[in-house]
Amino acid sequence: MMLIDGKQIAAETIDKVEQETARLIETKGVTPGLAVVIVGSDPASQVYVASKGRMARECGLNSFEHALPEDTSEADLLALVDKLNKDESVHGILVQMPLPDHLDAMKVIQTINPDKDVDGLTEVNVGRLVSGNLDRAFVPCTPAGCMVMIRKVLGDDLSGKNAVVVGRSILVGKPVANLLLHANATVTMAHSRTADLAAVCRTADILVAAVGRERMIKGDWIKPGATVIDVGINRISAPEKGEGKTRLVGDVDFAAASEVAHAITPVPGGVGPMTIAMLMANTLRAAYISVGAAAPDF
């Protein structure tokens, strides 16, 4: 069984971002800039934003962090996005989710310039992905990271492979299904209402689990020799570590699945590290595209 090491693959991706950033600065005099907007004081969001800023600076990118109070009006948030759209030193814009309830997240996302939409959530980028315009599309960071991992195991061409994606969110399920299709896999999208989900999963040479339910996918749902990408991050109680302690598990029963699978991602240490690495890669690509240069592949 091959353990797909997300930390190692993410480190390789970050190394490439650093090299290509230095090349862009040297050849074009342009430093990629990532602007992250956070509204309110959600603790998890603050941790994410801090880690994104830190990673951006490590890669040689400029990091612009905009922290707005919880009661920020929609008009003020949209005005900030508009300002960042027009700022030539900003190549990537990310509005950290979730937003406070009084703000319309979809409306805010759709006002981001698609060529700066490094989260890949504008309708323009969704359309570019679906239509196969991958040179211009910005793909959401988690699905992009999943594909880097799958290619590490199986190569670039997935012809003849059956892929099953469990989960249909716009953040992971739908984009990863489109990426698999573009790589020539035969793709089935499954979800909580799929009849006999276990039987569907057993057809998968590539299984991507993104449902958000702890260890829902059992070991006997895995086809022998399959490649399993577990996107789930679920926190469960861990009394063995002490009273009130918790630990993270995925959507796949890792212990049982690893007995059957050819390759599998752990949780934590699998898909998670890839997400932030691909955000850096997307920001770098946006900077290359902004000056009319061919963007590096990841």
Locate tokens 């612009």: which residue? Answer: 64
Residue tagged active-site, from 96, 116, 251, 253: 96
Q: Which of 52, 161, 174, 223 is labelled catalytic?
A: 52
**Cβ contact 218:196 at 8 Å:** no
AA identity, residue 278: M
For residue 96, indicate whether it is catalytic. yes
**Helices in the chain by DSSP H: which ranges?**
6-28, 43-58, 74-86, 105-110, 123-131, 141-154, 173-182, 197-201, 254-257, 271-290
Annotation says 119 is catalytic: yes
Q: Of the residues 115, 117, 119, 251, which is catalytic?
A: 119
Integer-rounded Cα radius of gyration of the chain: 19
Query: How would you label 248-261 residue by residue, b for 16+ Cβ within 10 Å and e otherwise?
Result: bbbbbbbebbbebb
> Helix, strand, coil % (nearest 5) of the chain?
45, 15, 40
Supply the residues annotated as catalytic. 52, 96, 119
